[in-house]
Chains A and B, each alone.
Chain A
Amino acid sequence: MNTIYALFPVLIIVAASLLVMILEVFLKREDRSYLAYISLLFLIAAAAGCVKFWDKGYSYFDGNLSLSNLSLFFCFILIIATFLVILISMKYLTLQNANYGEYYVLLLFALSGMIIMVSSSDLIVIFLGLEVLSLSSYALAGLRREDEKSNEAAVKYFLLGSFASAFLVFGIAFLYGATQATAIPSIVEGLQSGSSFGTLGLVGLGLVVIGFGFKVAVVPFHMWTPDVYQGAPTPITAFFSVGPKAVGFAVLLRIFIPYFKDALESQLMFGLLWIIAAITMIAGNLIALRQTNVKRILAYSSIAHAGYLMVAILAQDTQSLVFYLTAYLFMNIGAFAAVIALGKKDHEYLELEDYKGIGFRYPWIGATFAVFLISLAGFPPTGGFLAKFYVFSAAVRQGLVSLVIIGVLASLVSVFYYLRIIIYMYMKEPSYDVEINIDNPSLFLALFLCLYGVLQLGIFPGNILVLISQAVAALPF
């Protein structure tokens, strides 16, 4: 239905960020946490909107903006992700000397960009949404201005991100040249009809894959990830590891799942993505073995997870992809929340050495962190296990046995570095005291919510699976 209500989720997020921007001027430095509460309220309103629009199929601007169930589901999990990120950053910002009101403004702008991306199937709109997301992200990465690493992260992200955007625009231009369309369904149709511009279209698709491959951090476009993840403020790292990845895959899914339906036309791209998926899983996990900084370990782990998600795209199984992204959201933000919990004024504990004996000194943080790591490694009874199980079984059904074997072997390797953190936490004697600030209620709320999410998805995934299958039922988008 064509109605202006379809604008509600985007508009409310933009309104929230503008309001926060204005209020920031009038609030004293100590009162900045009100900005967080206001943002959270608006996020709840936007989430409620998403729930209310379920099954309504609202659209506007001639379908440039269309809230299909799948779009709404993505909007919803992105809003949850931002909600959790704001919860884990409230105290962090004062502790780590980065208490700018603009933090929330930029975070909400990034969210609005992501919502724009997932609720459209027009590549121009998607590109603009991606730019809104990226520009806010560059600034967020460099928010700790006194910190050299944070500056390095911002510059690196900005330079490489601009390159990736350029590749993406170039690809969109090629696709337009080949199919005279910017809407994804017409592009896919045009490519499958086997026009004389076949090569042009393939080049375009390849460039689009490079552009998004950068954003979702798959090998070989992952070089920026560890440095940016390490340098950015930790809550922002949590955000980067979930948000851009989810929207990147949401767009890749819209393009490639219909495109792969025609196996003959898409052989080349299929092979290309197959190779990307395989080397991402292998390289991500192997390099993670050598890291000693927890943020870097999690960075490489997120690269490896992008590989598993790519397997879901190749298996042409939207349901398992969406489930994986949902589970990944909770376990990854949870893991970063636990890392943030281990911090005090002007200092964060990020080296593996710091984690010796944490499990006994701070039993709750240690235990929840261990659960998230187990989930990331893919053990039952957590969401991470089921997510991997669904993706790999969908891939086997699709006949991608060798890719699944690579995936399973790679995740066996990953068990080593996840368990290594747990071993440090529980089986090593601390050589020095780790003092942390535990007066941080919002962070513990976030930890609890993530723990709940991981276990709910792992033990009773039924409700979520029903929702996802409803969302996917409306295909093609």
Chain B
Amino acid sequence: MAHFLFFLLAIICIASVLGMIISKDQAYTALFLIVAFVCMGGLFGLLEAPFIAAVQIIIYAGAIMILFIFVVMMINLRKGVGPEKKKWTMYFAVVIAAVLVVELVLTLKGTLEPISSAALESLGSPTDLGRLLFTKYLYPFEITSILIIAALVGAIVLVKKRDKE
């Protein structure tokens, strides 16, 4: 079952990423990206990392995608501007892709054996994360609240309507 789900999600993920690259329409691109993100979330779930799976879906497929779509809507860019096709960018891209492939192979080498499930047991479970957040990382966690309110105030003061003199 797990194997079947893995290959299903992986294939959908790769297909939608390909669709995202090939598609010319900005809105479709964004939608393909959502599908890819959701599949990634599913893959994290299969790896017994439910918290990361949830975050992947909530933050990437939710919040960040909405930002993307807002931008697409606001600048009204249905048909994307094609990237400038220069020879050297092409070569550069090939080189970087090759480096990435090598890196991937090196990382995978030796880690392909199935990981024992004992090691996975507490990896990113929401309970543990929550407990850490409210004990060891309480201070950073509380600072985040100041951070958010500072960001809110800053954003509002920059965009709100001016009151009359």
> Which residues of A come within 8 Å of B, CB atoms?
14, 21, 29, 60-62, 64-65, 100, 102, 105-106, 109-110, 112-113, 116, 120, 122, 124-125, 128-129, 131-132, 135-136, 138-140, 142-143, 145, 154
Contacts and interface: CB of A to CB of B under 8 A. Distances in A.
Nearest to B145: A14
Contacts of B162: 145
26 contacts: A14-B146, A21-B153, A60-B139, A61-B139, A102-B153, A102-B154, A102-B157, A106-B157, A109-B149, A109-B153, A110-B150, A112-B146, A113-B150, A122-B140, A124-B137, A124-B140, A128-B144, A132-B143, A132-B146, A135-B151, A135-B154, A136-B153, A139-B157, A140-B154, A143-B158, A154-B158
Secondary structure at chain A's binding surface: helix, strand, loop or mixed?
helix
A384 to B, nearest CB: 33
User: Which of A110, A129, A139, A142 is most buried by chain B, counting CB atoms within 10 A of its CB?
Assistant: A139
Given A64-B139, A106-B154, A131-B147, 12 more contacts: A62-B136, A110-B150, A120-B139, A128-B140, A128-B143, A132-B146, A132-B147, A132-B150, A135-B150, A135-B151, A139-B157, A143-B157
B143 A129 contact: yes
Interface string B117-143: 000000000000000000011111001
Interface string B149-165: 11101111110001100
Nearest to A128: B143
Contacts of A102: 153-154, 156-157
Contacts of B155: 139
A145 B147 contact: no
User: Which of B147, B149, B154 is most buried by chain A, counting CB atoms within 10 A of its CB?
Assistant: B154
Contact of B139 (A21, A65, A136, A140): A65
Nearest to A145: B158
Contacts of A135: 147, 150-151, 154
A189 B9 CA distance: 44
User: Which of A102, A140, A154 is most buried by chain B, counting CB atoms within 10 A of its CB?
Assistant: A102
Contacts of B157: 100, 102, 106, 139, 143
A125 B143 CA distance: 8
B139 A125 contact: yes
Interface of B: 136-140, 143-144, 146-147, 149-151, 153-158, 162-163
Contacts of B146: 14, 109, 112-113, 132
Contacts of A128: 140, 143-144, 147
A139 B159 CA distance: 10
Given A139-B157, A143-B157, A109 B150 contact: yes
Contacts of A112: 146
Contact of B150 (A60, A106, A143): A106
A129 B147 CA distance: 8
Contacts of A14: 146
Contacts of B140: 64, 122, 124-125, 128
Contacts of A136: 150, 153-154
B143 A116 contact: yes
A136 B152 CA distance: 10
B71 to A, nearest CB: 15
Contacts of A109: 146, 149-150, 153
A51 B33 CA distance: 55
B22 to A, nearest CB: 29
B133 to A, nearest CB: 12
A405 B148 CA distance: 46
Nearest to B163: A29
B138 A61 contact: yes
Contacts of A139: 153-155, 157-158
User: Which of B137, B138, B140, B155 is most buried by chain A, counting CB atoms within 10 A of its CB?
Assistant: B140
- The list of the 10 closest CB pairs from A to B, nearest first, reads A139-B154, A61-B139, A102-B157, A109-B150, A128-B143, A64-B139, A135-B151, A136-B150, A132-B147, A135-B150
Contacts of B147: 128, 131-132, 135
User: Which of B137, B143, B162 is most buried by chain A, counting CB atoms within 10 A of its CB?
Assistant: B143
Contacts of A65: 139
Nearest to A109: B150
Contacts of A125: 139-140, 143
Nearest to A120: B139
Contacts of A60: 139
B153 A105 contact: yes
B145 to A, nearest CB: 9
B140 to A, nearest CB: 5
A140 B157 CA distance: 9
Nearest to B146: A132
B106 to A, nearest CB: 15
Contacts of A105: 153
Nearest to A101: B157
A293 B135 CA distance: 51
A129 B158 CA distance: 22
A26 to B, nearest CB: 14
A166 to B, nearest CB: 15
A217 B93 CA distance: 33
Contacts of B149: 109
A61 B155 CA distance: 31
A21 B151 CA distance: 14
Contact of B158 (A29, A61, A116, A142): A142
Nearest to B150: A109
A427 B153 CA distance: 47
